[in-house]
Amino acid sequence: MQPQNANIYICFCGFFICNLMKIRHSTLQDVSRILEIINDAKALLKSIGIDQWQNGYPNQEQIENDIQNEESYVVLNDDETIVATTMFTTQKEPTYKSIIDGNWIIDEEKPYGVIHRLAMSKNYRGQGVAKFVFDYFHDYLKEKNIQSLKIDTHEGNKTMQALIKKMGYEYCGIIYTSYGDKRLAFERVLNQ
């Protein structure tokens, strides 16, 4: 129950940039570009003192697994250049079963979407690409009558927290990743 390759385009205008963007499933041929974008994101996080993604995760094996599960996506500009990557699923996230110091808005047992591993090319940061990704998956979930999208992020990742709060996400509590790292959990209830 994952989105098919998108033929949906959006006019995306940033500072002196205007592009048509689209989202499609990633392929194994995209892995090197995806890793390049993720490694740039790792360097950015490290440079601002955030230890997120500094332990070898995400790595090539994880990305290839996401592709095999049809849960890896790339965002392309009008030149068909990959400018962002993310993982999206409607499968239950095992680490979301136990939330500390809070609760999910929509019961964990009901269907929901999850975004993980969202990263932009360094040339496209701050240009609205992340909002485009969220809007795309919000629309997909609404079409499937799924009420919420859940996401978690590092407590030091203030940029992501600001974005998701601006997009109507509510803080729900704390979860721990499968490798034991603390993350802040957020959810947005989607109006049908």
Would 123 be classed as within a structural domain?
yes
CA dihedral 110, 111, 113, 117 (to 10 degrees): 80
Would 4 be classed as within a structural domain?
no
Distance between CA atoms of residues 46 and 44, nearest Å: 5
* Average pLDDT, integer, range 106-123: 94
Distance between CA atoms of residues 178 and 190, nearest Å: 27
> What is the count of structural domains for the chain?
1
Element containing residue 46 per DSSP (H, E):
helix 31-47
CATH of the domain at 75: 3.40.630.30
Element containing residue 142 per DSSP (H, E):
helix 129-143
Does residue 65 register a pLDDT over 70? Answer: yes
Domain span at residue 110? 10-189
pLDDT tens column, 32-46:
999 999 999 999 999
Would 1 be classed as within a structural domain?
no
Does residue 3 register a pLDDT over 80? Answer: no
What tokens were used for 49?
Answer: 């003192």
Q: What is the pTM of this model?
A: 0.88
Instruction: Answer for the pair 146, 116: CB distance below 8 angstroms, yes or no.
Output: no
Would 5 be classed as within a structural domain?
no
pLDDT tens column, 124-174:
988 899 999 999 999 999 999 999 999 999 999 999 999 999 999 999 999
Radius of gyration for the alpha carbons in the chain, expressed in angstroms and rounded:
16
Residue 20 has a pLDDT of 84
